[in-house]
Chains A and B, each alone.
Chain A
Amino acid sequence: MAAFGTGARQLQGRGGSPGFRFTLYALLSIVIMFLDERSHWLENARYFLQAAAYPVQLAVSSPSAAWSWLQESFATRDELRKENNRLRAQQRAIEIRSMRFDALQKENAELRGLKEALPAVAERWEVAEVVDVELNSLRQRVLLNRGTSNGVFKGQAVMDEKGLLGQTLHVGPWSSEVILITDPEHAVPVQIERNGLRTIAVGAGDTASLALPYLPANADVKTGDLLMTSGLGGVFPAGYPVARITEVHHDAVQPLAQVRAAPLARIDLDREAVLVWFRPDHPAAPGTATMSDSKTGNARIQPLPAPPRAVTAPAAGTGAEARTSANAGASGSKSTAAAKPSPAAKPTPSPTTHAAVPPRESGASASEAAGTPRAERPQTPRSEPPRSKPTETGASPTATEGAKSPAAAAVPPSPEPAAPPKPSPAATPPPEQQ
């Protein structure tokens, strides 16, 4: 057993001593890790490595692919006919259900005060095949056979016909790795459909469950509740089904409820997945500016000293973002230091659309900047101690421009009906302000 082939020889040959070589390689890998983690310099290297790995991944998946191909080709005529009948019945059901869809959409638009109906939020979708699957308790990933050559980008939403599957993590030229919503490293911002309660669903590491670890013990959540994407977080659009609550535990000792949900997408059965491209100017679409840096969360609802992209922000996209931030403000989440009007920047209260602002303030600044007579002062007390640093007050010119941009005007308080703002058709005024 212990007799190995080559005999003992001198190790000092080419390339220096093993200790030297090890130091070299260790330094190299530390540099690589640092570059990969802290900066995005290695994105290109990853791209090519992914391309190089694709043949191996194809080879690895070939046995199961061959097996399913065999099964399909030897399916009997009877089975095929049965499946055909089932599909036809399903198609009829879907057609009947979608028959009223156009009418309902138009009605909805009228109710929301918009001139024309919005197009659907999904602009384009493409069916991709699942090439490789990795489903264990540490990693829940699948590999799809579509990459940048098909227009796939990092942080793109992936679904199946039942619900949300995940998002793309690494994209190569012909393939893309998808992190599933059940991966323990993945969290998706969700909303309970029944009452609008927002929380976060974290993957539990098996294909059948998600955990909702941040719900307080008295949260209104029941078994059978449907979870939908809330549109926060900048990756997934709002309103897509994610999971259904399966168990709710109230432990008298624990401050938080123990809630589990089962994903609606058939995660372990899917052999195909749908990559979806969303209209960036749709109110339900996720904010495009946050896709690249989704690691650090949504930049717009974090305290910022000065709004960086306020001037050129597209009207509708920020309108949607302002709506979500208004929601966040209304639900009593934190109003950040940047959102408080500092005394030095009094004539134009500080940036509105980029921070989680209570709707009152953003509305006031918007009407002010648009030249309409101010109907009411912002309710935030002026005598508040200056909590923001002097550097933040330097942002007031940009804040003015930001407030003048149509994005800010899309969140009106509508103090009088005579001067209603003219929102672009896509920018919906939040319903709770009407």
Chain B
Amino acid sequence: MNSEPRFRMVLTTLVALILTVLPLPPWMDPARPAFLVLTVLYWSIAAPRAGGIALGWFGGLALDVFQGPVLGQHALALALITYIFVREHQKIRSKPAFQQALIVFAAIVIYEFIVFAIDGWSGHPITSSARWLHSVTSAMIWPFAAAFLTHRYGRSS
């Protein structure tokens, strides 16, 4: 029981990472939902003990290896919003899907803001407004992602 959900957690996070770095046509790319963030957030409220901040941190670090100008920036941002979700997991879990989507939207805006701030601090500022677009698409896809993960992986634990 203890290793089983953790294995699923790592597997789904890896798939989400691949979805995040999968090449897409340029016009679709800014709207790509942050699959990795959604998966990590799902696990941090569904199984806060097993995954939680460690999952967020290592997932963010993996993302940094693929697309971060500075190693550790996605790790920090993802660890922060994972911490918020782990702390408040009972409150968030009991909300209806729409409100969950709003909370996820706020979390991804915080996440993107931290990444943006570190980008600016390290001298790679990208001030295009397209970088905020994925917080909307991620929030829109959240109910479906959560339902999918629950249906596929959540129940049997």
Contact = CB atoms under 8 A, between A and B. Distances in A.
26 contacts: A1-B100, A1-B147, A2-B94, A2-B95, A4-B93, A5-B46, A6-B5, A6-B46, A6-B49, A9-B49, A11-B49, A19-B87, A21-B54, A21-B83, A22-B53, A22-B79, A22-B80, A25-B54, A25-B79, A33-B70, A33-B71, A53-B65, A59-B18, A61-B23, A136-B26, A137-B130
Contacts of A135: 23, 26, 29
A5 B154 contact: yes
Nearest to A4: B46
Interface in B75-104: 75-76, 79-80, 82-83, 86-87, 90, 93-97, 100
Contact of B73 (A33, A46, A205): A33
Contact of B53 (A13, A21, A141): A21
Contact of A21 (B24, B52, B124): B52
B48 interface: yes
A13 B49 contact: yes
A18 interface: yes
Interface in A4-37: 4-6, 8-9, 11, 13, 15, 18-19, 21-22, 25-26, 28-33, 36-37
B21 interface: yes
B67 A37 contact: no
Interface string A84-122: 000000000000000000000000000000000000000
> What class of interface size applies to chain A in its complex with B?
35 or more
Contacts of B62: 53
Interface residues of B, number: 61
Given A18-B87, A25-B53, 7 more contacts: A2-B94, A4-B154, A6-B157, A29-B72, A30-B76, A37-B70, A60-B21
Top 8 nearest A-B pairs (CB, nearest first) are A5-B154, A136-B29, A32-B72, A22-B83, A29-B76, A29-B72, A33-B72, A4-B46
A56 B96 contact: no
A64 interface: yes
A83 B98 CA distance: 56
A207 interface: yes
B45 interface: yes
B18 A56 contact: yes
A272 interface: no
Contacts of A29: 57, 60-61, 72-73, 75-76, 79
A30 B75 CA distance: 9
A49 interface: yes
Chain B interface helix/strand/loop/mixed: helix
Contacts of A57: 21, 66
A83 B26 CA distance: 29
A315 interface: no
A56 B17 contact: yes
A310 B26 CA distance: 47
A66 to B, nearest CB: 14
Interface of A: 1-6, 8-9, 11, 13, 15, 18-19, 21-22, 25-26, 28-33, 36-37, 42, 45-46, 49-50, 52-53, 56-57, 59-61, 64, 132-139, 141, 184-185, 205-207, 268
Nearest to A59: B18
Given A4-B46, A60-B18, A137-B30, A53 B66 contact: yes
A19 B23 CA distance: 36
A42 B82 CA distance: 26
A53 B66 CA distance: 7
Contacts of A13: 49
A37 B69 CA distance: 9
Interface string B114-143: 000010001010101011000000000001
Contact of A30 (B17, B23, B54, B72): B72
B146 A1 contact: yes
A45 B61 CA distance: 12
B117 to A, nearest CB: 11
Interface in B11-31: 17-18, 21-24, 26, 29-30
